[in-house]
Amino acid sequence: NHIKHLVFSLILICFTKLNASSVLLPMDNDGQQNHLKAYGITYWALAKNYKVNWLLNYRGGSFLLPDGDDIRKECQIRGVSFEVLTDAATASILEEISSPSQNMETVVLEKAPKIAVYTPKGKQPWDDAVTLVLTYAEIPFTPIYDQEVLSDQLLLYDWLHLHHEDFTGQFGKFLRMRGQAWYQEQKTEAETIAKKYNFTKIPDLKMAVTRKIQGFVFGGGYMF
C-alpha cells in the first residue's frame, strides 16, 4: 500500500506540473504573507527575462508569472505566497479581468528597470525609508546625489526614487541641531559641491539639480 501511495503521489505531481500554466503572486492581505518580497520576486523574474502580467485591481494588484521550478523555489526561499494555476484557471482569471463590467486591467511587464535613489551619503534614519524598503524587497538600486545628477548620470537609469529631500537648499529647519555631526557634515558637503559647480549658494545648486531631474522626467524617465 505504501508503494502504491508513493507511485500515485508521483503521478499526481507530474500531472499537476504538466498542467500548470502560471504562478500567481496574490497581493491581497489574505493571500500574501510578504508583499514587499513579492515585488522583489517580480523584479527578479523580469531580470531573468520572464514576462509578467500585472493584474491591476485583481486581488490587490496581483502578479501573474509563468510557471517554473526556479520561480517556485525563489518564492519559497524569500517567503512569498504563491498559487500554481492550471491553463484553465489562468484563462478564467484573464477573462474575468477583460470583462467590461470589471474595473480591472492586465499590464504586461517585460523589462527590469534600472533604479536610482536620490539620497545623501550621511542620511539619517528618518530619511531612509526608500532604501530600507528596496533593500528588504531585494530590488537592486544605485544611490545617487547632487554630483551624479549634475554630471548627467540620470541618463543611465529608468526610475528615480526620491527620499524626503528639502530642495530649497536651506538648513534653517534643522538649525537647532547645528551642533550635531551629521548636520555639519551635510552642510559642508553641500557647500563643497556648490563651490565645485560654481554656485555661490546652496539653493542655486538645488535649483540646478531639480532642473536636471525635470529634464529626466520630460525625457521619459519615471520618478517616484
Q: How confident is the model over 145-187, as pLDDT tens digits?
A: 999 999 999 999 999 998 766 777 776 656 666 667 777 787 8
SS (H, E, C) the chain: CHHHHHHHHHHHHHHHHHHEEEEEECCCCCCCCCHHHHHHHHHHHHHCCCCEEEEECCCCCEEEEECCHHHHHHHHHHCCCCEEEEHHHHHHHHHHHHCCCCCCEEEEECCCCCEEEECCCCCCHHHCHHHHHHHHHCCCCEEECHHHHHCCHHHHCCEEEECCCCCCCCCHHHHHHCCCHHHHHHHHHHHHHHHHCCCCCHHHHHHHHHHHHHHHHHCCCEEC
- In this prediction, residue 189 carries a pLDDT of 85
Give the percent of the chain with pLDDT over 70: 82
Its pTM stands at 0.82
How would residue 190 be classed by pLDDT, with cut points 50, 70 and 90?
confident
